[in-house]
């Protein structure tokens, strides 16, 4: 247990910037998966970011998910964004996620396409997000480390506009509820991707909740039992 804590501490030191924080944010995030059947579900989330003494940002998102296999799924939906620190935005998205397990480790890879439509009639942005992460299952909980570059697809040059690096720990709170505490470092880049123009440090508290309704009816492929 002590060894795992040392590894977690060293990883945090590696991604926390050693200069003064440029922008600090508290991010509260709730995720909900409502199972419609063994293959289909509605994935939704609602989030709130507090930019300390500077403003806030809210988001709500929902989409339809289809499980291709136990470790692979696709999803599509839309997100609404608003707040004092951001422009109003409608953001359709499309996901492809695959997971690979190696003993106590799980490698997760998500590819997401996003189309950003802004309320002030600004130019629509299209971007790609690639999110590889590794999760380790321990007696203390699930330890996760990942990155997520954001790639602009409809600008003059194909480039990374920002990147997230994060580390977190997840523990089960109830049967189908998990709580995660994450540190996220996000950097935006100029044309030269080695020089970042802004930096954000986020502490995210995340709740994941899976709802399994009664497993009867045609969607689940089971017949309802009736008493004669």
Q: Where are the beta strands (DSSP E) in 36-176?
A: 40-51, 55-69, 72-82, 89-102, 105-118, 125-138, 141-152, 159-174
pLDDT of the residue at 147: 98
Given a contact cutoff of 8 angstroms between Cβ atoms, the answer to whether 41 and 208 are in contact is: no
Predicted pLDDT at 111: 98
Going by C-beta distance under 8 Å and a sequence separation of 6 or more, which residues neighbour residue 14?
none
Domain ranges of the chain: 2-40+57-173+184-213
State the Cα angle at 97 between 92 and 103, rounded to 5°.
155
Q: Are strands 24-35 and 196-211 parallel, antiparallel or unpaired?
A: parallel
pLDDT of residue 215: 59
What is the pLDDT, as a whole number, of residue 67? 96
Tokens of residue 158, six digits? 């194909």
149 Cβ contact partners less than 8 Å away, ≥ 6 residues apart: 129, 130, 160, 162, 163, 164
Give the mean pLDDT per block of 10 residues along the chain (228 residues): 45 45 83 94 97 89 97 98 93 98 95 95 92 94 96 86 96 94 92 69 96 65 48
Q: Find the helix or strand (DSSP H, E) in which 2 lies.
A: helix 2-15
Q: What angle do CA 159, 91, 206 make, to 5 degrees?
A: 90
Q: Exposed (0-12), middle (13-18) or buried (19+): which is 121, by Cβ within 10 Å?
A: exposed
- Please answer whether residues 165 and 184 qualify as being in contact, where contact means their C-beta atoms are separated by less than 8 angstroms: yes
Is residue 15 within 8 Å of residue 8, measured between CB atoms? no
pTM comes to 0.82
In this prediction, residue 16 carries a pLDDT of 47
Tokens of 82: 């608003």
Predicted local confidence at residue 139, as pLDDT: 86
Contact 63, 34 (CB under 8 A): no
* Tokens read off for 95: 């996901």
């Amino acid at each position: 247990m002590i060894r795992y804590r040392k590894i977690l501490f060293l990883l945090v030191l590696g991604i926390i910037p050693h200069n003064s924080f440029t922008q600090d944010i508290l991010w509260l995030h709730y995720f909900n998966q409502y199972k419609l059947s063994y293959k289909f579900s509605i994935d939704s989330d609602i989030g709130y970011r507090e930019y300390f003494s500077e403003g806030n940002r809210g988001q709500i998102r929902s989409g339809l998910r289809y499980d291709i296999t136990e470790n692979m799924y696709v999803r599509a939906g839309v997100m609404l964004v608003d707040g004092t620190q951001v422009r109003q935005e409608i953001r359709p998205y499309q996901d492809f996620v695959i997971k690979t397990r190696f003993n106590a480790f799980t490698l997760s890879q998500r590819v997401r396409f996003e189309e950003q439509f802004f309320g002030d009639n600004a130019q629509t942005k299209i971007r790609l997000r690639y999110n590889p992460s590794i999760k380790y299952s321990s007696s203390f909980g699930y330890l996760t480390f990942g990155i997520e570059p954001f790639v602009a697809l409809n600008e003059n040059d194909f480039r990374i506009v920002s990147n997230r690096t994060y580390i977190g720990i997840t523990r089960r709170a109830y049967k189908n509820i998990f709580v995660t505490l994450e540190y996220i470092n996000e950097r935006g880049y100029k044309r030269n991707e080695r020089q970042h123009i802004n930096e954000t440090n986020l502490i995210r508290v995340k709740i994941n909740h899976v709802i399994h309704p009664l497993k009867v009816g045609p969607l689940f492929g089971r017949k309802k039992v009736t008493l004669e």
